[in-house]
Structure 1
Amino acid sequence: MVSLNDIAPGTWNIDADHTEIGFVARHLAVTKVKGRFTDVSVNAEVAEDRKNSTLEFTVQTASVQTRNADRDAHLKSADFFDVEQYPTMTFKATNIGDDTITGDLTIKDVTKPVTFDYEFNGISDDPWGGTRAGFEAQGEINRKDFGLSFDAAAPGGNALVSDKIKINLDLEFVKA
């Protein structure tokens, strides 16, 4: 069985075509709205001593997509990401464990610690002579902690958008 310790030390580049940074919010407390960011860069350096490995993400906030142009425009506004003033959000790992990654998430110049549970999906050689590694990770934030402050309620009192946002990462890396 392949484990995280089988990943070769060195630089691993993200394969943007096989990576997704997604999120899920509740709409009116009755259904889910799913979205993703399409412009993401990742720096990953695997160290001999895994505790010294680094992982950093930069997300272009204007790349948010939810399959609804009006909602996407609202998410880009000052009610949410305010992409004109805050064009990026970042994550920098501070501790990479066997099944969790903790780090500093910064959205709208607000930095908070966030922990992601992750699963290592394995390593595979590809047909082009490369080596790939895959991961899935899940975490949760309170959007208001990061200044995503839109706060409308429906006539029955349910929040239009949940405060809790689930973050889902599907990541594929290629050994440099």
Structure 2
Amino acid sequence: MPELSSAFSGEWRIDPTHSRIGFSTRHAMVTKVRGAFNDIEGIIHADVDNPVNSKVSVKIKVASIDTRNAQRDEHLRTNDFFDAPNYPEITFESTRIDQVEEDSYIVNGNLTIRGITKEIGIPIQFTGIERDPSGQLRAGFEGSRRIDRQQFGVKWNTALDSGGLLVSDKITLEFEISAVKVES
């Protein structure tokens, strides 16, 4: 984790009201569709003295998907895409966190979508630490990672007259995280 004082060590909870875990993908090969999940929770355990002990755990409620289009959101919850009734959560559990530069990390771990788990590395930038007006210590993180949705069983698509596909298989995951330190 960031090269900070030992005050950074400890448990941090992702603040869902000030965080965004989202995605973007090409639609009809000409534009991007963006969305996010509104129901997220997560814990970051930071150990500045022994970074190998640092870890991240995130749970996302699939039913909370929001692309600003109710009809599309309902379709994304079906078996064509996320199959929310049978796979209500997307999870990520870190296995290793590597520092690549000052304030830049690769968070390696297991991403599970539709019951399929794949190991991925997510580049994350530490954006700062600050005490908010209510006295809570906050840390910020941002990053993104492109994945192939087909590898997670998200396969629905429709061919276009041009020969392309309606929805790209490449999805960019987007992370804007505000975490609050759990004071003991």
- TM bucket (normalised to shorter chain) is over 0.9
Matches within 5 A, 1:1-176: 4-6=2-4, 8-47=8-47, 48-98=49-99, 99-176=105-182
Shift of residue 122, structure 1, vs aligned partner: 0.7
What SS does the aligned partner of 2:3 have? helix
Assess if the C-alpha contact under 8 Å between 2:149 and 2:170 holds in 1: yes
What SS does the aligned partner of 1:155 have? coil
Assess if the C-alpha contact under 8 Å between 2:15 and 2:41 holds in 1: no
Task: State the Cα deviation string for residues 76-105 of structure 1 (Å, max 9, x = none).
Answer: 010100000000010011111122111110
Q: 2: distance between equivalents of 1:122 and 1:54?
A: 18
Shift of residue 9, structure 1, vs aligned partner: 1.1
What SS does the aligned partner of 1:24 have? strand
Q: 2: distance between equivalents of 1:38 and 1:129?
A: 25
1:16 corresponds to which letter in structure 2?
A: P
Q: 1: distance between equivalents of 2:27 and 2:133?
A: 42
Number of residue pairs matched? 174
2:46 corresponds to which letter in structure 1?
A: V
Q: 2: distance between equivalents of 1:54 and 1:135?
A: 14
Q: 2: distance between equivalents of 1:63 and 1:130?
A: 27
TM-score by length of 2: 0.91
Shift of residue 5, structure 1, vs aligned partner: 2.1
What SS does the aligned partner of 1:23 have? strand
Assess if the C-alpha contact under 8 Å between 2:148 and 2:171 holds in 1: yes
Percentage identity across paired residues of the two chains: 40
Assess if the C-alpha contact under 8 Å between 2:159 and 2:165 holds in 1: yes
Q: 2: distance between equivalents of 1:174 and 1:43?
A: 10
Shift of residue 151, structure 1, vs aligned partner: 2.2
* Unaligned residue ranges in structure 1 (runs of 5+): none
What SS does the aligned partner of 2:166 have? coil
Which residue in 1 is equivalent to 2:102?
none
TM-score by length of 1: 0.95
